[in-house]
Amino acid sequence: MTDAIAHFTAGTAAGMAGVLAEYPLDTVKTRMQVSAPVKVPCICSPISVTTAISATAAAPRTTYWQCVSHLYQCGGVRSFYSGLSLPLAAQSAEAAVIFSVYNSSLQHFLRKQQLQPQEQEQGKISTSCGDHTPRLHGLRQDDSKHRQQQQQPQVPVWSSPAHWKASACAGFAVSFVLTPVEMLKCNRQMHSARPHWNHRQATARELARHLLSAHGVSGLYTGMAGTVMRAVLGNMAYFVSYEQCREWLAHGFARSSHDDEVVPMWHSMLAGGISGCCYWTIAYPADVAKTKMQVCPLARQQGFTRTLANVYSSGGAAALYRGWGVTVVRAFLSGSIVFTTHEHCCNYLRRSPSALTHVYDSAVASTPKPPQEPQAALISH
């Protein structure tokens, strides 16, 4: 229970920190993927599907700086943060789910492989984000044998089926949280760049109400197939690359350090940044198709596979990776912040039982309790 609360709380804080840092670049990424920022209709737009198709086909492609300039001219700095409130709340929940499911799944698959904590400490396998032998900052600095054991030959993380399976489980689970958020976020980001519209921008609640009334719950889950592909493939690259980089850095650091030294913060920042780049390099084509399905009526009707094929046939691999450059910058920044925040929060909560108890007591206190009968009435009965 203690580890579950620590990972959930640390994931929440990491998600909030990451979205605050990356959101402006995420807005530019969404605009670049669609390629027709002004003429592609919002899901709530009264423009017909036929008009939308012709407008999308005739729209010119834009560069990064043209996209940034257009956003700034339309609404200033606020246009880069359009729809921030929804992702800020949702991505904190998303990160909490990802880290919680990943670590619990990792424990399950390691037990299934009959790997005991003693075997892991002897260098059989590494679990930098797991609960068996956490490699977080300072968590093992009191163990004088830890750095000596790190020098022993280790099986690479990328060859561990448990890490791949746990990452896939985390990606699949978070897809159910991520799809409605992406649907509302992408449409709000596109809506903010239409200076010729006279009516005000629809709020996330209004967009959700419109989708539910027009399409039911399935309207919020448009592009689910693309989100699942993005989350599963991306998180497999995300966690495995992070843990492997941390293992390489920790192994190299141990050769030239003393036993009482703590692994520096830049290890987690560098490994987190690299893992973020790996996530989006692997998952970006699926995200392009997902975004088009969520903001373009034609792509929504065609489905994920056909949309992905149409994007490839229109421009090859370059079309599948349109806007990838700004996304990699965003991913490096976000990955370094998310993993560093998560590790420091876990480190603090595990080293401070009173803080972890306070988090648990606050959650219990916020849970509504059923009303109780007066004491006098109980005595009379």
Question: Domain limits of the chain?
Answer: 2-361
**Among 56, 12, 26, 21, which Cα is nearest to 38's?**
56
Distances (CA, A) of 291 to 5, 145, 187: 33, 49, 9
Percent share of the chain, pLDDT over 70: 67
User: What pLDDT was estimated at residue 336?
Assistant: 94
User: What pLDDT was estimated at residue 231?
Assistant: 96
Q: Which residue has the higher pLDDT, 50 or 372?
A: 372
Q: 161: which 2 tokens?
A: 């089926």
Mean of pLDDT over the chain: 75
Q: Which residue has the higher pLDDT, 286 or 44?
A: 286
Confidence category of residue 145, pLDDT binned at 50, 70, 90: very low
Q: Which residue has the higher pLDDT, 341 or 32?
A: 341
User: How many whole angstroms separate alpha carbon 291 and alpha carbon 3?
Assistant: 35
Confidence category of residue 252, pLDDT binned at 50, 70, 90: confident
Give the model confidence (pLDDT) of 218-236 as tens digits.
889 999 999 999 999 999 9
Instruction: Kindly report the pTM of this predicted structure.
Output: 0.71
What is the CATH T-level fold of the domain 2-361, as seen in this structure? Mitochondrial carrier fold (1.50.40)
User: What pLDDT was estimated at residue 352?
Assistant: 73
User: What pLDDT was estimated at residue 50?
Assistant: 35
